[in-house]
Amino acid sequence: MTWIELIAASLGALSVYLMTQQKPAAWPIGLLMVLLYIWIFYDARLYSEMLLQVIYVALQIYGWRQWLRGGSKQQGREVSSLSMFGISQGLMIGTSITLALGFAMSQYTNANLPWLDAALTGFSLVAQYWMAHKRLQCWLLWIVLDIVYVGMFITAQLYLTAVLYMIFTALAVYGWLEWRHSLRQTA
C-alpha cells in the first residue's frame, strides 16, 4: 500500500503548497488526496481519521467554492483574521467533536489511538473550516495539529504520512507568513 500512500502524500504536499499561495487549484488536488486517504486510514484502523477524510470530501468542495465565489461580493475570499470570540468558538467546537467522537470510537470500535485520533479529527475540522474562509489563524492551528500528527503516524507505522505531516508543518509556517503578509497588504 505504500505506493498509494506515496501518491496521496505527494498530492497533499502539492495541495497545501498551493493553499499557501492562495491558488484555488489546491482544493481539487486536495480532494484527490482525501479520497486516497480514506482507504489508507481504513486499512490502518484510524477510523476517526478515515471519517475525517470522508468529511473532507465535502469540505474540499466547500472550500473550493468559497475561494472562487465566497465573500460578501461573491468574488472569492480574502485573507482575514478571527476575533478572540471566533477563535474561542472554534476551539469549543473542536473540543465537543473530540469528546463525542473519542467516546464513540473508544467504546464501539477497535480503533487505534481513539482519543488522540478523535482530538486531531475534531480540531482538524475547525482548521479546515477556517482555511475555507481564509482565516489567518488556520495556519497556527495546523502547525500544532501537524506536529502531533507526526507522532501519531509514526506510532501507526505510516511513515510516509508522518514525513508528509513534517512537510505540512513547514508549509503551515510558510502559509502563516505568506497569509500574514497578504493580510497586512490589504489592511
Is the model's pLDDT at 1 over the cut of 70?
no
The per-residue pLDDT for range 106-146, each reduced to its tens digit, is 999 888 888 998 999 899 999 999 999 999 999 999 999 99
Mean pLDDT of 80-93: 97
Look up the pTM and report it.
0.88
DSSP the chain: -HHHHHHHHHHHHHHHHHHHTT-TTHHHHHHHHHHHHHHHHHHTT-HHHHHHHHHHHHHHHHHHHHHHH-TTTTS----B---HHHHHHHHHHHHHHHHHHHHHHHHHS--SSHHHHHHHHHHHHHHHHHHHTTBTHHHHHHHHHHHHHHHHHHHTT-HHHHHHHHHHHHHHHHHHHHHHHHHHHH-
What residues does each domain of the chain span?
Answer: 2-72+88-186
Per the model's pLDDT, the better-predicted residue between 105 and 139 turns out to be: 139
